[in-house]
Amino acid sequence: MTKPLVMVTGAGSGIGAATARAFAAAGHPVLLIARRRDRLEALGLSNAVCRAVDVRDRPAVAAAVAEAEALHGPIDCLLNNAGIAPLARIEDQDPEEWRDLLDINCLGVMNCMHVVMPGMKGRRHGTIINVSSIAGRKSYPYHDAYGASKAYVHALTEAARRSMSAYDVRVIVVTPGLTQTEIESTMLNKEAHEIWAARGADIGGGIAADHVARTMLFAYQMPQDVILQELVITPTRQEY
């Protein structure tokens, strides 16, 4: 039997790319979304629908979903991974960075959920996995606005989990600690990046994105009547 369609946002690199590979290897057709289509196609995954879509553009997200579902059936799992991390102290940060940060990390997550949730609710089946960060649970230097955006993802996930549980739809939040991804390329503040990098060096580097991806695949493969509500995954040496 054909396995159900899985949607991955921010699939061009890091956790998103690793997740796309993991679910495709498990036999799922995948809808891959990122702003750089060439990065998606470079993954070379069979049964992949690759679309250059900004998660801030809800109509474009909906159009990509409709196109993929016409080919592979309804989306059974949404992996909300797209995000940026322009770290800075709130009083020093360019307010324009706040807009991009909140629009992508918060509104982008909601846009994708808004598109797939009605179908999942109607079918009484589906899983949404939102990728947050340990910075949404704990305070770190220069993580002011970024940490707030990830706390938002936690609160949103909890609210959606409770409202969708009566329809047998699972809504999960994954909370990685320091992870080896390209998200540091969005850290434009030199001092913030140096502190972040030094902290990583102190604990022997971050976990591989593949480990986060495999954790999400495991959560998805549990029976539909079982939910791992929140998954926290960090390097063993990450004490806080």
Q: Which amino acid is at 211?
A: H
Whole-angstrom CA distances from 131 to 82, 127, 135, 201, 215 are 8, 13, 12, 23, 12
Backbone angles phi, psi at 232, to 5 degrees: -110, 125
Q: Is 152 an active-site residue?
A: no
Helix 108-123 and helix 144-164, axial crossing angle in degrees, nearest 10: 10
Strands (E), 136-236: 170-176, 179-180, 207-208, 230-233
Cβ contact 18:25 at 8 Å: no
Catalytic one of 146, 152, 220, 240: 146
Would you please indicate which residues are annotated as catalytic (active-site) residues? Answer: 146
